[in-house]
Structure 1
Amino acid sequence: MDASLKNETQDFIFPPELIITNEAILKKRLMCTGPRVTWIRPTSLLDALMIKKLCPEIKFIAGYNDIGLHVLLDKTSHAIMMPVSHLEELGKIVITEDCIRIGAAVPMADIINTFAELISELPGLSQKSIAAEDFFLLDRKVAIQADEIVLSVTIPLTKQNEIFAAFSTHTPHRRDDEVDHVNAGMRVRFTSTGDAVEDLHIRYGGIGLIAAKKIKDDICALNKRMWDEMLLEEVYKIIRKHSDVIITSTKVIIEEGAMKDTEEFQLMTMKNYFFKFFNMVMQEMGKEKIDRNQRMGLSPLRTIKGTQTWQTHTVGAVGEPLQDISSRQISTGESKYLDDIPRREDELFLALLTSSRPHAKIRSVNASAALAMDGVVDYIDRDDVTGSNVLPFTFERVCAEMRYSFIVGEIIGGIIAKDQQIARRAVKSIDVHYEDLGAALTIEDAIETGAFHDPGIDDIYGDPDGGFLDSDKIIEGDIRMGGQEHLYMEPHCVLAIPDVGSQKMKVLATTQDLSVAQGQRQADEWTGTKFIPEAAFRLCRGPA
């Protein structure tokens, strides 16, 4: 493919010439085997079932999947994959009088188009989604046998006097999936007179199967009740009643208090979902909605308005309300990032080996398996840093020295390879032996053991001791707040291009501290590492 024909604002499309249109070829089983992955394309649904029975661990590929994310995060490594999007039985959408049956491999775009056509053709029909009752057992574990696959999903159509809604809440994590903390599907059907509940069905997700089933069963017992505030209170009581069996979706909890806070968040979210559903139904019934603030005895929310003022008399750019110089490029996708810079023929990649212990002695590092891999050039660590190993201003170490690790994610060394994926795989093969020394993971642990950073920082203004002595009342307590991460426009990346003649480096880096990156003192002191002539280095820092 001629790279010179590429439009700078667009990505390459899949070449139409490579699309297989010969049905005879599609009817043959295709198997591609590589050093780590085997790709099998079945000829039919029966063929796919036979392959799955022989290889129960096989990973199906159909539309979006999170395989790349899991491999990147070292969660799983799928050795056998099977595409199923071309199977006719899995690509059908069947519409009946009672339901819509969607094939398990139907693209989302086709589903959206189908619903759009139905909405336009059938007045009063709206797009719905419903959670499966007993299909999802655990995280990424479903109730299917080794010789079974998902053929389709059936979505019932709502009937007269029936209302349905779905809710979800998730918090995106930098190094994990965006999994819902809590989600819910809620459906209510009223009697023909429309004044009493005939069937109330609520299913929560993300709280564990036991809690979800108990809450669902207890709420089903509220049938034949009126849709009023008494019903709202009864649902709240049921949720609180089963709070002891609700499983938090947070995967890593360090403090007991954090666990309690997460459970309270889930309970409040579950109540909030039903409150929204309750008011939505009230609106559908033509009744007055309940005001949350009034019900809780809170003052109504005030509308906050803001204004921007600037000088009417300016001198040049001073005082002018100027637009950020990069806003337009960033918002239109035209900004150039380091990853947009074409790779050089002689470019090498560096993948970092980071510590997995918060406080430990590094007994040994064995990189022999990594160095034996094809494409690996070298392994570097503290011994290869010829200048200062301590960065100015932040006083962080470039690499762990004295064979001690003080934080998870601290750089121990790195693998230089001819390809980024090779470098990352090689880092995973390095064998590091630690001797754990104990770590202070909470503020209380640090106070008890005296584990503070040195030098400490004390900001004292005025006379606090005297102020306390003169005070009529002293209120003491603790306040906690979570850390706040930046929303990165691009991953951390550094491109270093050596000049063989001058023995200097041209460094392109993603940084918010240009003064430090450009400082001559820093360049003189800590850019000295192994110098490989005629090779540019690209460091793309991935998950620790």
Structure 2
Amino acid sequence: YIVAFKQARRRDDDIAIVNAAINVSFEQKSNIVAEISMAFGGMAPTTVLAPRTSQLMAGQEWSHQLAERVAESLCTELPLAASAPGGMIAYRRALVVSLFFKAYLAISLKLSKSGITSSDALPSEERSGAEIFHTPVLKSAQLFERVCSDQPTCDPIGRPQVHAAALKQATGEAIYTDDIPRMDGEVYLAFVLSTKPRAKITKLDASAALAMEGVHQFFCYKDLTEHENEVGPVFHDEHVFAAGEVHCYGQIVGAIAADN
């Protein structure tokens, strides 16, 4: 049995706050866990597994009692530091347990429907938790006025205009950054981010990074004039690189140019 769920700010087309995938196999014609793997996203820089909790579940009966033990184990095995990027620490930790419980309900319902467990093994008030939301087919329409027949064709007022890139994007012909092949001598740029929410910059030492093979250059506010380092959509009150002081966790302090 394989199930996967995610929680995001929107149901469609949005990056998950936390997501989970559970793959479980049972001993033949039973609800005894033979093997299980659980992976979670949004709890670390990369996807993480829960091997200790999975080991705890092996050989156990798939039941509410096991689900409660798993919830406690996941809270211990997947901690999240208070300073973790993205914030919402308590919410994300709660989502780990919530997504597992939803997976538990979904798999329990499948076991019940296949006759492995009794039909009343899953309480009726919990069955809705196993349901998957299906997005209805969306429909849209564009309304516009008809222009007078004597209106010059060069006059766009009132006429529906096709976006300049619409056809290329709809047909897949549009070229995005990832579609552009690598060039000879191309290097990558990676930002150096602040690990402190508020601190003064007393020194920037990139010697260790520059000593590594393939690293070409380190850039910071010293490489720009004061005017060049100022950015902003209307008022130029932000900096490309933090100069003298950082004001938030993750603020850009510098950039490294390297081969890979």
Distance 1:357 1:384, change over 3 A: same
TM-score (norm 2): 0.58
C-alpha contact 1:371 1:378 (8 A) present in aligned 2:
yes
Indicate yes or no: 2:205 matched with 1:205: no
Amino acid corresponding to residue 397 of structure 1 in structure 2: H
Inter-CA distance 338–303: structure 2 relative to 1 (3 Å threshold): closer
2:43 is matched with none
1:167 corresponding residue in structure 2: 3
2:225 pairs with 1:386 = yes
Per the TM alignment, residue 344 of structure 1 is displaced from its structure 2 partner at its CA by: 7.3
In the alignment, the residues of structure 2 paired with residue 240 and residue 167 of structure 1 have an alpha-carbon distance, to the nearest angstrom, of 19
SS in 1 for 2:230: coil
Aligned with 2:239 (options 374, 380, 397) = 397
Cα pair 1:311 1:319 within 8 Å, conserved:
no
Query: 1:414 aligned to 234, 255, 259, which one?
Result: 255
Flag the 1:262–1:303 CA change in 2: closer, same or farther, 3 A. Answer: closer
C-alpha deviations, 1:450-489, integer Å up to 9, x for none?
xxxxxxxxxxxxxxxxxxxxxxxxxxxxxxxxxxxxxxxx
Is residue 355–residue 407 contact of structure 1 (8 Å, CA) maintained in 2? Answer: yes
Distance 1:269 1:412, change over 3 A: same
Instruction: Say which SS state the counterpart of residue 248 (structure 2) adopts.
Output: coil
In 1: Cα distance, 2:214 partner to 2:26 partner = 57
Preserved CA contact (<8 Å) 1:211 1:245? yes
Matched, 1:237 2:51: no
Structure 2, unmatched stretches of 5+, are 9-17, 39-48, 83-87, 148-155
Cα 1:363–1:314 shift into 2, 3 Å: same
TM-score by length of 1: 0.32
User: Aligned letter for 1:200?
Assistant: N
**1:261 is matched by which residue type in structure 2?**
A
The one-letter code of the counterpart of 1:217 is G
Q: Which amino acid aligns with 2:221?
A: R
Higher relative contact order (CA 8 A, sep 6+): 2
SS where residue 195 of structure 2 aligns? coil
Match of 1:271 in 2: 104
Deviation at 1:382, TM superposition (A): 1.9
Query: Are 1:335 and 2:167 counterparts?
Result: no
Where does the alignment leave 5 or more consecutive residues of structure 1 unmatched? 1-164, 173-178, 191-198, 220-233, 425-544
Report deviation, 1:325.
4.4
Superposition deviation, residue 209 in structure 1:
4.4
- For the structure 1 residues 396 and 211, does the alpha-carbon distance in structure 2 shift closer, same or farther, using more than 3 Å as the test? same
**Contact kept in structure 2, 1:185 and 1:204, CA below 8 Å:** yes
- The question of whether the paired residues in 2 share the 8 Å contact of 1:215 and 1:239 is answered with no
1:359 to 198, 207, 213: 198
Larger Rg: 1
Percent identity among equivalent residues? 18
> How far apart are 1:396 and its partner, in Å?
1.9
1:309, distance to aligned residue in structure 2 (A):
3.8
Q: 1:82-121 to 2 correspondence within 5 Å?
A: none
Rounded Cα–Cα distance in structure 2 between residues aligned with 1:251 and 1:259: 10
2:84 paired with 1:246: no
Alpha-carbon shift at residue 200 of structure 1 (Å): 2.8
